[in-house]
Structure 1
Amino acid sequence: MSQLSCHVLDNTNGIPASGITVKVSRLGSFECLAEGITSDDGRVDFGETRFAPGNYTLRFLVAPYCEETFGQTFFPMIDIHFTIVDKRHYHIPLLLSPFAFSSYRGS
């Protein structure tokens, strides 16, 4: 079983994005397997939950953060789909700005 964490960085202001709710589910399912809120350093560690190989979705509910920080919301939520294939720690950063976002497999 694998572990999972994520990190949200506000690329516009060059700071971690805190207070964002993040939910994990199996791809195609609405059942939430784990949930957290980004800390002051923009991180969520789903350490208590173990993930079997398969396809998953991280859903970042960014609308409240974007409204407060950027004064508007273009992407109210961002879904990142990924595949767990082996036993390791998976870390998925999200880089956020008012009109764009990107993600990658972190370490």
Structure 2
Amino acid sequence: MTGYLTTHVLDTARGCPAEGLKIELFKIEGETRTLLKTLATNDDGRTDEQILPADAFELGEYELIFHAGEYLDRVGVPKEEPRFLNIIPIRFGMSEPAHYHVPLLLSPFSYGTYRGS
């Protein structure tokens, strides 16, 4: 089996997919963070392509950065300064060549994630 990485962002406060949310993927090697890709979610809260496709997949430590503040501003969540959730980093490891799905469940004051399928 070949590994790859996907995500899905759901706006749990509004009960819908989070469309247009910017996501960055970084590879973590020791103290070095290398930006691999920047994407945005589509109208289903998913990216139009795999975040890390099979031909680029490597085992190791990664970080997804979800730009939640920009999204919350755009959908009309009342502004606060500073916003409680602005940038959401999720650091995780991929230890086997499998499908890793790292979704984000988002509201203005909380978020959750898990290893999905």
| 1:41 matches 2:44 | yes
When the two chains are superposed, the root-mean-square deviation of aligned CA atoms in Å is 1.6
Q: CA deviation at 1:47?
A: 5.1
Per-residue CA deviations over 1:14-44 (Å, capped at 9, x if unaligned) read 1000101111112343321122100100012
Distance 1:87 1:100 in 2: 31
2:84 corresponds to which of 46, 50, 74: 74
1:60 aligns with 66
More strand by share: 1
Instruction: Report if the CA contact (8 A) 2:5-2:99 is conserved.
Output: yes
Distance 2:56 2:101 in 1: 13
TM-score under structure 1 normalisation? 0.90
Displaced runs of 4 or more, over 4 A: none
2:19 aligns with 18
Which blocks of at least 5 consecutive residues in structure 2 are unaligned?
Answer: none
2:103 aligns with 93
Partner SS for 1:52: coil
In the comparison of the two structures, how many residue pairs are matched?
107
Name which one, 1 or 2, has greater alpha-carbon Rg.
Answer: 2
Change (3 A) 1:79 1:47: closer
Residue range with higher mean Cα deviation, 3-12 or 24-33: 24-33
Which blocks of at least 5 consecutive residues in structure 1 are unaligned?
Answer: none
Instruction: Report if the CA contact (8 A) 2:25-2:51 is conserved.
Output: no
Distance 1:89 1:8 in 2: 17
